[in-house]
Amino acid sequence: MLSKSNKYPCALYLLLAIILVASGCAAPVRHDGGKAPIVAVITGVPEEASRKIATTVAESLQLQSKQRVMTDALIATKLTNYPRYIPGPYQRAYFEIEVDWSHTDMNRIAAIQRELGADFLYVIWAPNAIRNGSLSDYLVWTPADIKAVDIDRIEVPIIVQLFATPGNKVVMKEQYKICLDESSKPKKEFMDSCDSIDKIALKLGKETGLMKGWW
């Protein structure tokens, strides 16, 4: 039979164990010390259309996930001369992107992650914009051309990489094709032969965790 002096410490230990288990279930520990990770979505080429793509992906990610997504305005205050060119995972980009995943300037990526202070850095390269149509109609467009010509849509191949701290580890590398309208605004919804912005953001959200809803 337990004495009065031994009975209460046992009860106290049991109570502490229950609290620890309950708190662990309610608030799982994350790599950043309990807070949702910070994600920065940036363009790797200093073009208007590419920056709009990055901004739209970031906005979609903010809606679909619980991450802390940096705004374009905040990124511009943290990075000098943003947007700027970042040597990316390709050798050339004209009609198609000639992929070379080893070509990314990792030193520049590491410097950018330090400047931003983000847990995840998602870089989007859209080095060209291709007009939809027959093979003979394929042309390379600048953002100014997209605005000037009255066409149904522009098909834009993009290449992306997701980096995580510490160590600037490559978490994801993907290629997509998105559609721009006449104002060079990215199409969020699905279009034939083009990926939607929401789909791209959903994939990003899954790779960084903390998706809302049933994802």
What pLDDT is stored for residue 148 in this prediction?
61
Q: How far apart are CA 88 and CA 23, in angstroms?
A: 43
Residue 207 to residues 107, 119, 171: CA-CA distances in angstroms?
23, 12, 8
What pLDDT is stored for residue 135 in this prediction?
33
What pLDDT is stored for residue 24 in this prediction?
37
Domains and CATH numbers, the chain: 35-208 (3.40.50.10610)
Q: How far apart are CA 21 and CA 72, in angstroms?
A: 40
What pLDDT is stored for residue 95 in this prediction?
67
pLDDT under 70 in the chain at which residues?
A: 1-34, 95, 129-153, 181-192, 212-215
Please, is 178 exposed, middle or buried when counting C-beta atoms within 10 Å of its C-beta (0-12, 13-18, 19+)?
buried
